[in-house]
Chain A
Amino acid sequence: MSKNSTGKDIWVLGDYRNYFKNRVTLQILARARALAAQTGGQVCGVVFGHDVDEYAREYIAHGADRVYVIDHPRLKSYGLETFTNLLTRLARDMKPDIILIGATRFGQEVAPRVAKQLNTGLTADCIDLDIDDKGLLVQIAPSFGGNLIARILTPKARPQMATVRPGTFHELPHDNTAQGEVVTLDLPEDLPSERVRCTHSEYRPAKALGIEKADIVITGGRGMGSKGKFKKLFDLAGLLNAEVGATRPVVHAGWVGHEALVGQAGKHIRPKVLFSFGISGAIQHTAALMDADFIVAVNKNPNATMMKLADVAIVADANQVCSGIIRALKEKIRD
């Protein structure tokens, strides 16, 4: 295996399945570039699969200095035990300083296993990553149930590992002129056999809700009061041509389906205008809406975090304001 690693390298696991939807690898590569500028390491993609040249090139165009590739018919579909084994071995061999993995379901299955095999730490769902003055990776993640953010280090064990949810970082523009090295490695012969057999697999894309792309999003929280009252948000959404999102307690209470969840565990949104009704503004929720251009928040409590993040903070009852906006819009919309 190739040994041109610097011992400071930042690896990003190439998760390319469902490529046009799943941009998380590109997003992380962008952040890894910024980290590498501070550590002096190189950004390396790691790709396992069959006929995966195009992904290797894509990763270089999006910020990787080098891409390690194992290309083999046996790797045609994602195999959990195989990918875990390969990544663990390569990491033992080449000792990257940092491994970052996108928190798709697949990434969430691979990352803890690799961390366990390497006996190192893993911080899930980082909302940001940084380098401290000693060159350590600062893993920034929500903590203690929502109001706080923790900065976490892995002082001794190596590599330092973190997962990042899709949508957390922004990919760099595709750069056709970017120079990078593709290092092709052989598939080891003594691969473990997959102990789980897939007998049926069907691509079933989630219904496009459009919330991730909508220009206007209306989110509602526990402060809406009840399932019945929450429904009013859909009336407003109809008038505004908007999509409806919700916080976790609301989803858990069954006021609305899980697909509406906005936050770390759900959708990242970037609307031009966001209306937020009866939401306190816990970090797991707000981490996914920081890209909104203009935020109107309605809350009885003027000190709620959500109100402080808003451009317009309306101190009032969420239901009454919602009804008020509906009434006003009905008058104002020209046909």
Chain B
Amino acid sequence: MENNTLDIIVCIKQVPMVSELPWNSKTGTLKRELAQGMMDPASRLALEAGLRLQRAGQSQDRRIRVTALTMGPPMAEEVLHQAVSLGADHGILLTDRKMAGADTNLTSFILGRYIRMFKPDTGLVLCGAQTSDSETAQVGPQLACELDFPAIGWASDIRLTQNALVVTRLVDDFMETLEMDLPGLVTIDLGAFVPRYAGLAGVAQAFASPKIDVVDADDLELDRNFNALEDSPTRILDVFSPATQKESRVLKGAAKTVVDQLFADYGKIISSAMGKDLKKK
């Protein structure tokens, strides 16, 4: 890495807009077509972290380039346009049928393969700590293994010195300050930053700009038989709806009526949990 340039890659996932989507009871799969995609909130903060470093670099005469990287279906391109409108220099979409159904192991493999083949000079990779749709918190650490980068998880703040990164984080009741030489990888915790919003001009410009590259399995020279779904070590055996467990007593009616009923029949349970007597009235 040259001293006055730094290439940052921010890994961004597109996730469904709502967490409770309807599903197909026959196949047990999500009706994804009903879900609008959005940028995963933690990825958004990772991008924010990258953009803040980029801006800090400008005042120090340091050239910091931010590339947004996503793997997903073609429609995931939207989050890249959004990233560019927010200030990213480039967007890269890794998309191919063969990549569909990748678990975290294969997701990190594919992201890592792209970085090694096409961005070998990357100085810093930023990820969200965990996505809102799966919250596995696995892709960041596994990508670090893939690249053999040192890594720090759950950062709440990051600062760049000449060739190192200083990170603060709160984990398992320890407030820590950590230092790491670059290249390296950091995952950003929710709540770390207040993300910026793009003006309308930025959005329009981003959609007009040719800053997005699309990369497929051939470009990555993946094996002809590569199939992320088949190759993932885990298999979903089946999916079921949680069983309801109790014979509930149902109370209906005006608020006053149901509250009176509640105390008449269950007042004892409530008062004993409170450790206080309640008047019968």
Contact = CB atoms under 8 A, between A and B. Distances in A.
Given A22-B172, A109-B153, A309 B279 contact: no
A86 interface: no
A1 interface: no
Contacts of B20: 145-147, 280, 282
Given A198-B178, A312-B248, A312-B262, A144 B21 contact: yes
B203 to A, nearest CB: 23
Contacts of B281: 331-332
A331 B256 CA distance: 13
Interface string B130-169: 0001111110011011100011111000000000001000
B201 interface: no
A115 B142 contact: yes
Interface in B243-281: 244-246, 248-256, 258-260, 262-263, 266-267, 269-270, 272-279, 281
Given A113-B141, A311-B248, A321-B259, A125 B135 contact: yes
B174 interface: yes
A18 interface: yes
Given A296-B262, A302-B250, A196 B171 contact: no
Interface string A310-335: 11111111001101110111011110
A317 B239 contact: no
Interface residues of A, number: 99
B217 interface: no
A12 B14 CA distance: 34
A151 B237 contact: yes
B33 to A, nearest CB: 14
Interface in A31-51: none
Interface of chain B, helix or strand or loop or mixed?
mixed
Contacts of B136: 112, 124-125
Interface stretch (B5-13, B68-76, B218-226, B228-236): B228-236
A272 to B, nearest CB: 4
A266 B258 CA distance: 31
Contacts, number: 260
Interface stretch (B50-58, B84-92, B101-109, B206-214): B101-109
Given A145-B21, A296-B266, A325-B259, A106 B236 contact: no
Contact of B274 (A21, A143, A240): A240
B274 to A, nearest CB: 6
B255 to A, nearest CB: 4
A224 to B, nearest CB: 15
A333 B276 contact: yes
Interface stretch (A58-66, A68-76, A152-160, A227-235): A152-160
Interface of chain A, helix or strand or loop or mixed?
mixed
Interface string A184-200: 00000000000111111
A301 interface: no
B244 to A, nearest CB: 4
9 closest A-B pairs by beta carbon, nearest first, are A195-B150, A121-B233, A121-B234, A308-B244, A105-B171, A157-B233, A324-B259, A320-B255, A112-B138
Interface of A: 17-18, 21-22, 81, 104-106, 108-109, 111-113, 115-117, 119-125, 132, 138-139, 143-157, 195-206, 215-216, 240-241, 248-249, 252, 258, 264-265, 271-273, 280, 282-283, 286, 294-297, 302, 305, 307-317, 320-321, 323-325, 327-329, 331-334
23 contacts: A113-B142, A113-B144, A121-B232, A121-B234, A124-B137, A139-B234, A144-B239, A150-B237, A153-B235, A198-B178, A201-B174, A294-B266, A307-B248, A307-B250, A308-B246, A309-B244, A311-B246, A313-B249, A317-B255, A324-B256, A328-B260, A332-B263, A332-B281
